[in-house]
Amino acid sequence: MPEITEAELAPNVKALWLKALSAVQTNNHGYAVKLLQPVLKDAPAFLDGRKVLRKCESIVQGGPKKGGSIFGVKTGGMGLMKIASQVKKDPASAVPLIEAELEKDAYNAEANDLLFEAFNALGLPDSAAFALETVRQGHPENSKLLHKLADYYQSRDEPAKAAEVYRDIIKHHPTDSAAIKGEKDCTAKASMKSGGWSETAKMADLQRNKGEAAALDEASKTGLTRDQLEDRRDRLVMRYNEDTNNLATVKDLASIYEQLEDWEGAFNFYSWGFTLSNGDVALQTKAGHMKDKVADSHMKELEERAKSNPDDPEVQAMLAERRSARIAEAVEEAKKRVEINPTDPISRYELGQALFNAGDHSGAIPHLQQAKRNPHIQSKVLLLLGKTFKAKGMFDMASKQLADALADMHGMDNTKKEVLYEKGLIHEQMGDKDGALDSFKQIYEVDYGYRDVAQRVESSYGG
């Protein structure tokens, strides 16, 4: 029974399907559910229809239900136990029975597990995966079924998807060693697959360019072109697959992924390197930074999506929710880094920045003051301290921090421009128009287009 598309629906079934889509567009999700049930009864292999049905059911039900047992005792009871027996005897006839249970709770873990088994038996692999993906969406803490989903993706030679599932398991169960190892191995296999390497290739074939690989090991890891970096990555992945516990290879791979700006790959290998190193703080810190970059990358994607859909309230709400969550996550991650290395000024600066972004200005100050010990970041620290005092209405202290920052700056780079601009704004708020204009003029002289300095300076001349 192969999975089918809309084009393959029988005319009468397609008419119901189109009617259901119209109901969805008018937000009549309850009616859409009633229309979609007979569609799927007649066309059980129509995966797109099942996806729409599940989304509508979720909306009607108000999302995943809390407190349900993963074995169905609370949500399915004896009914699901009988259906489980039916799945073994006649999986096709069991599917409508399972759907009846899912109409009560679309994310019911045991019911979706039974649906997986039924579709697997019917030879509908994508539908089977979707059943467990529903559990992953509604109950990502259910490690038992998420492991089952990851194993299923591996059995289908889809290591990238398996790695994503393992990452979700680790989020909720950070000490799950099987998930940690599975994620690393699947990430490596996915890289090998994208690079055209066959896991079952003969070692003689894999090492036919051994001399070239050795020469590459001697080459600098910086200053390489993207093609060279990708070539090096593929060779290192091959080596990693031979020995996943080789720390040197893992560290090299982490570095390559970082240079390629593949933040998820870099995070995975820095994390695995930390595990292998028995506590190398530098690797742990690197992993934390890569995790931040992954989150920032996802945020940018969501921002672009929101920008492209300004009238979509759901996307705008998702963005607002994600921004709030990201700020809280950044604070927690930065606190962990400070706990690991409390004397590191950079970690202190990052925590100060995170607290500032969260609106905890008083909490940010002591960390930023400690961060001033590092002369390499002192200008950035003083700039942020100035902004922090400004946010607290302490304009005189804010101005002093920015003046101290300017004392060590010579060339007019972007940091100096920002310091001058902030200093100008503070002078304005203090009623010092001449001091504000002096700051803006210094920027105007070298960068006419910087923010609104041209308008500020020229308006002072009456122009």
Crossing angle (nearest 10°) for helices 414-429 and 378-391? 20
The tens digit of pLDDT for each residue in 388-435 reads: 999 999 999 999 999 999 988 878 888 899 999 999 999 999 999 999
State the Rg of the chain over Cα. Answer: 28
Crossing angle (nearest 10°) for helices 281-308 and 313-340? 170
Contact 273, 254 (CB under 8 A): yes
Token pair belonging to 12: 């009468």
pLDDT of residue 110: 92
pLDDT of residue 155: 92
pLDDT of residue 42: 92
pTM exceeding 0.85: no
Query: Residue 195 pLDDT > 80, yes or no?
Result: no
Mean pLDDT score across all residues of the chain: 85
65: left (phi over 0), alpha (psi -120 to 50) or beta: beta
Q: Which of 126-135, 222-231, 268-277, 301-310 has the lowest mean pLDDT?
A: 222-231
Distance from chain centroid for Cα 65: 24
Q: Which of 41-50, 127-136, 196-205 has the lowest mean pLDDT?
A: 196-205
Query: Residue 274 pLDDT > 50, yes or no?
Result: yes
Contact 428, 443 (CB under 8 A): no
pLDDT tier at 223, thresholds 50, 70, 90: low
pLDDT tier at 221, thresholds 50, 70, 90: very low
Query: Residue 210 pLDDT > 80, yes or no?
Result: no
Contact 350, 329 (CB under 8 A): no
- The count of other CB atoms within 10 Å of the CB of residue 224 is 17
pLDDT of residue 70: 39
pLDDT tier at 206, thresholds 50, 70, 90: very low
The tens digit of pLDDT for each residue in 77-132 reads: 447 888 888 888 999 999 999 999 999 999 999 999 999 999 999 999 999 999 99
Query: Residue 277 pLDDT > 90, yes or no?
Result: no
> What size, in residues, is the chain?
463
pLDDT of residue 48: 92
The Cα 106–Cα 100 span in angstroms is 10
The Cα 327–Cα 287 span in angstroms is 18
pLDDT of residue 29: 92
pLDDT of residue 171: 83
- Residue range 187-191: mean pLDDT, rounded: 79
Query: Residue 215 pLDDT > 60, yes or no?
Result: no
Query: Residue 238 pLDDT > 70, yes or no?
Result: yes
Max distance between CA atoms of the chain, in angstroms, equals: 88
Say what percent of the chain tops pLDDT 70: 89
Query: Residue 73 pLDDT > 50, yes or no?
Result: no
Q: Does the CA dihedral 275-281-286-287 come out positive or negative?
A: positive
Contact 54, 30 (CB under 8 A): no
pLDDT of residue 196: 52
The tens digit of pLDDT for each residue in 11-49 reads: 999 999 999 999 988 889 999 999 999 999 999 999 999
Contact 195, 233 (CB under 8 A): yes
The Cα 276–Cα 396 span in angstroms is 50
- Residue range 227-253: mean pLDDT, rounded: 87
The Cα 165–Cα 161 span in angstroms is 6
Domains in the chain: boundaries: 1-139
pLDDT tier at 211, thresholds 50, 70, 90: very low
